[in-house]
Structure 1
Amino acid sequence: MTADLVVVGAGVVGAASAYFATLAGLRVVVVERGAVAGGTSSAGEGNVLVSDKEAGPELDLALYSQRVWREDLAEHGDRWEFESKGGLVVAASAEGVASLRELTAHQRACGVDARDLGHAELRDYEPHLSPHLAGGAFYPQDAQVQPMLVAAHLLRLARERGARVRTHTEVTGFLRAGSRVTGVRTPAGDVPAGAVLNAAGTWAGDVAGLAGVRVPVLPRRGFILVTQPMPPGTIRHKVYAAEYVGDVASSDAALQTSPVVEGTAAGTILIGASRERVGFDRTVSTAAIGALAARAIALFPMLRTVRAMRTYLGFRPYCPDHLPVVGPDARAPGLWHACGHEGAGVGLSAGTGKLVAQALVGGRTDLDLAPFAPERFAEEDLP
């Protein structure tokens, strides 16, 4: 078995990369040590957001990904429950509103549709919101997908174009020709390839290490609460507190919680978001779950009487500068990366996959990949 490209990882980023690579005419093999979407992609909310990103390369990638989701992938949107529900960001104080206004002004200058809202307008968007909030902003571009369906359907579409997907097959090493990476080793046999894409999510640092290079991708644990089903339209948008943006950009290892609340097509309500760097510890944190519940109730007091059915957790692939690692690795020619997207991987996967495919075939990329280059980290940043 030979390929033009081996994709390591069958989450949403790997699946999008495989799909767009097949569209570009490449012979693709996807290798996944577990099941499709069995890692971080199975443990998120499916965010496709621009609202939580400050001006800079990540926002540029988010806006580009919006176009890919809504144009290149539009015909398939129903397959993964693409819902352009919009995002509502709320602030509890006048100071919080002022900070949010500054953020929206910068975002609008970059092309984001951000609409400032006063106190009286908030409950027109969400009738059950607390009446004590000071103001907010509405982002019509924010959307949601079902990430496991994204990965499954993009890989199915890739297979229809000739891609092969090998699950429960772990990469144990790389084939080399001198310094060049020329494929992967697995217990089921070697797979020679012209290029290898490291899309292994939270484990991307380990995969890079097999090639003798380091990328500082580390796990950042997060919990989500799922409530009993509620009547349709109980919560209409993705709603979160303004401090969520700061928490996303923080490098603090300690527990952080900021309320993110949204409804699903099934009627359940998802409540996030927590962040903490505790390695791959899967211990359930009552402190994190309790803080999520309390902060969600502060936004929506009616949630006090709603039962939580379950919780789940996942590990976001975190980089120190909060930018993903995307592009070729000059330290190991033939090795490429598409990893480190932290909690934005689902939303950024579409743009990442298309850009990687453009670069792999030697074309001009729609967005400059330089800010995401693997070599950008100083030695002291590396684990």
Structure 2
Amino acid sequence: MEPIVIVGGGIIGASIASHLKDDERPVVVYEQDTVGSGTSGDSVAVFVWHQSTPDPLSHRLRARAWDTYEPLIRDGTLSFEQIGTLDVAFGAEGATMRKEVAATLDSFGVSASFLAPEALAAHGLDPAAVAGALYTPEDGYLDPSEIIQHFLKEASSQGVTVETKTTVTAIRTDADGVTGVETENGFQPAHAVINAAGPWAPAVNRMAGISLPLRHNLGPVVVLQKDAPFTLPFIEFEDGLYVRGEGDRQAFAGQFGARYEDADELQPNEARSVAHDFYLDIEARIEDAIPRLSGVELVNEWVGMRTLTPDGVPFVGETAVAGFYVACGMNGLGVTLAPAVGEVLAEMVRGRSVASEIEAYLRPGRAADFREPLNEN
């Protein structure tokens, strides 16, 4: 029986493999490096109920994902630090918008409120530097490597094969759809092929003759450390800078990067370093607005990469090439959405019904609405 092939061993591919573990067909995961070595490993790994533009379908997917995470956190399989998210405004207009967002999220059932500037001192901010913040206290961070290892352990226990250091070099198709993949080790026939390749997804799509409007942005991250213990929530500023507490003596400081409109497709394998201007921006933000980080030292850094879609919603489902599925364009929400995306995609591959509104929300065919040259329905 021809297997289901998953291209990519990051958090999305691992989730899909776990949800397909009891399929009647064999399942093979191909990872070009080691599992979790791409963008999953570079993530700051926050699970967020927070949304800057609230969408009820996105909330449903988050709730579905949390239904997987919560029992694993409760039994100690996964670690989770609930630190909350502050979405910080600098001016009156931003504050008004965040008050409205808090009310909408509250209507979804999310614990959300607007905090006035004087309340933010308790969270490490200077009240004089900000105009208030949207607060979602139930947000927190996980460990991507723990999640990936858990999903792949579950999958492997049921016979899923994980091939690391194995690059997919071509996807073979005929008039009826996918026939298999070529790897460095030869041809592997396949019943279905799933593109869960993260930032390499555009290249994998092209192998199948598919073009989706995916772009990349870069996310520099620096690790800051103090001798004295401190705590810090996940703090997003409206200009794209953010900080996130890590344990009791460290914090990550990063930048969300270019919006889709200003982004482009990049080469994921290209070596990149943190730009000097970013250090200056973080230093200035700490001095102006985050007194709790005064006196930190930089101890590490890296540059991550996010894969973006025009509407901020992932592409999940079967494409115009029969048997070729995608689960890509997570827009920085891979950790938040992975269990839900894996479950939905697995149901689609098995031919089972998925809620029509979720299927329409995620469908790759909506790419035609974005007026870019596509080979999609």
* TM norm. shorter chain > 0.5: yes
SS of 1:381's partner is coil
Question: Over aligned residue pairs, what C-alpha RMSD do you find?
Answer: 2.3
Number of equivalent positions: 362
Specify the SS of the correspondent of 1:67: helix
Is contact 1:259-1:296 (8 Å) kept?
no
Is the 8 Å Cα contact of residues 315 and 329 (structure 2) preserved in structure 1?
yes
User: What is the identity, as a one-letter code, of the residue corresponding to 1:322?
Assistant: G
Give 1:263 shift.
1.5
> Does 1:166 find its partner at 2:163?
yes
- Deviations, residues 279-310 of structure 1 (Å, cap 9, x unaligned): 23624311233223322443312423111112
Cα shift at 1:381: 2.4
Q: Which residue of 2 aligns with 1:235?
A: 231
Q: Deviations over 1:328-377 (max 9, x none)?
A: 11x10001110001211121111101111222222232562212211212
Aligned-partner SS, 1:109: helix
> Where does residue 120 of structure 1 map in the other structure?
118
1:332 aligns with one of 313, 321, 326: 321
1:299-327 Cα distance to aligned partner (Å, 9 max, x none)? 31242311111211011011122211101
For the structure 1 residues 24 and 85, does the alpha-carbon distance in structure 2 shift closer, same or farther, using more than 3 Å as the test?
farther
Structure 1 residue 13 displacement after superposition:
0.7
Q: Call closer, same or farther: CA 1:382–1:47 in 2, change over 3 Å.
A: farther
Any conservation in 2 of the 1:271–1:296 contact (CA below 8 Å)?
A: no
- CA shift, 1:88, in A, is 2.3
Q: Report the Cα distance in structure 1 between the residues aligned to 2:133 and 2:284, rounded to whole angstroms.
A: 20
Aligned-residue sequence identity (percent) comes to 29
Give the counterpart letter for 2:133 in structure 1.
G
- Aligned equivalent of 2:96: 98
Where does residue 9 of structure 2 map in the other structure?
Answer: 10
Tell me, in whole angstroms, the C-alpha distance in 2 between the residues paired with 1:143 and 1:373: 29
Alignment partner for residue 340 of structure 2, among 351, 358, 374? 351
Q: Contact 1:258/1:295 (CA < 8 Å) preserved in 2? A: no
Q: 307-316 vs 149-158, which deviates more?
A: 149-158
Per the TM alignment, residue 102 of structure 1 is displaced from its structure 2 partner at its CA by 1.2
**TM-score for the superposition, normalised by structure 1:** 0.87
Unaligned runs of 5+ residues in structure 2 are none
Contact 1:271 1:293 (8 Å CA) reproduced:
no
Aligned residue in 2 for 1:85: 83
* Superposition pairs of residues 1-383 of structure 1, within 5 angstroms: 3-23=2-22, 26-56=25-55, 57-71=57-71, 73-74=72-73, 78-124=76-122, 126=123, 128-132=124-128, 133-232=130-229, 234-241=230-237, 243=238, 258-265=240-247, 267-276=249-258, 277=263, 279-280=266-267, 282-329=272-319, 331-365=320-354, 368-378=358-368, 380-382=371-373
In the alignment, the residues of structure 1 paired with residue 77 and residue 286 of structure 2 have an alpha-carbon distance, to the nearest angstrom, of: 30
Specify the code of the residue in structure 2 equivalent to 1:68: T
Q: Residues 200-252 of structure 1, C-alpha deviation per residue, up to 9 Å, x if partnerless?
A: 011111101111111122221110110125544x12421222x1xxxxxxxxx
- Residue 75 of structure 1, CA deviation: 5.7
The 1-side partners of 2:168 and 2:5 are apart by: 10
Q: Distance in 1 between matches of 2:26 and 2:86?
A: 42
Change (3 A) 1:260 1:336: same
Aligned structure 1 segments of 4 or more residues deviating by more than 6 angstroms = none
1:253 aligns with none
SS in 1 for 2:127: coil
CA distance in 2, matches of 1:200, 1:47: 20
Give the C-alpha shift of residue 198 in structure 1. Answer: 0.3
Paired residues of 2:19 and 2:342 also in contact (CA < 8 A): yes
- Give the 3 Å change call, closer, same or farther, for CA 36–259 of structure 1 in structure 2: same
- Alpha-carbon displacement from aligned partner over 1:44-80 (angstroms, at most 9, x marks no partner): 1002112134222434423332333224x4466x444
1:382 to partner: Cα distance:
4.4
Distance 1:312 1:375, change over 3 A: same
TM-score, length-normalised on structure 2? 0.88
Does the 8 Å contact 2:81/2:141 carry over to 1?
Answer: yes
Distance 1:4 1:84, change over 3 A: farther
The question of whether the paired residues in 2 share the 8 Å contact of 1:183 and 1:196 is answered with yes
Equivalent residue of 1:356, what SS?
Answer: helix
